[in-house]
Amino acid sequence: MDLSSFLSPSAVRVMAGTASKKRLFQDLGDIAQAVYGLDGDTTFDALQERETLGPTGVGNGVALPHARLDGLEKMAGVFIRLERPVDFDSVDRVPVDLIFALFAPKDAGVEHLKALATVSRTLREEQTRIKLRQNSDPAALHAVLTDLRSIQAA
């Protein structure tokens, strides 16, 4: 699965002013609304609800919040690089600065899991994380994320 199939270049942002996980979820909802036409409040609520099941901070400054949404027809992703990391209750207690939110149709099933695995595999690569942290240009960040040579099969 290719990240470019569900990550629009306009859904990649660098942000400075996010001070909390809740505010970050609001920002993700706002971006999803602007880029994909999703309802921002519904998206925010779905992210919050998923997070109550367990934190989606996976370590190394990376978070993978995700949610299934009614009415969504295909996968949609939003990537944010924060200039100032935010506490995310991550497994390693490291504040998060690389966030990839994934939104899936309610009935996506295995497709949702494959997309999550692709995102996880991409952000698990140390060189990819370094490149993402060294860039402030959303177009460059999108290129790093969607570079198929950097994504290895599981």
pLDDT, one tens digit per residue, over 3-26 is 999 999 999 999 987 888 999 999
What pLDDT does 151 receive?
Answer: 42
What number is the average pLDDT over the span 90-97? Answer: 93
- Give the model's confidence band at 112: pLDDT under 50 very low, under 70 low, under 90 confident, else very high: confident
What pLDDT does 10 receive?
Answer: 97
**pTM, rounded to two decimals:** 0.92
**Is 66 part of the annotated catalytic residue set?**
yes
Q: Provide CATH code, domain 3-150.
A: 3.40.930.10
Whether pLDDT at 132 is above 90: yes
Residue located via tokens 């470019």? 4
Q: Which of 35, 46, 62, 66 is catalytic?
A: 66
- Domain definitions of the chain by residue range: 3-150
Q: Report the length, in residues, of the chain.
A: 154
H helices present in 1-154, as ranges: 21-36, 40-51, 110-124, 126-134, 138-146
Indicate the average pLDDT of the chain: 91
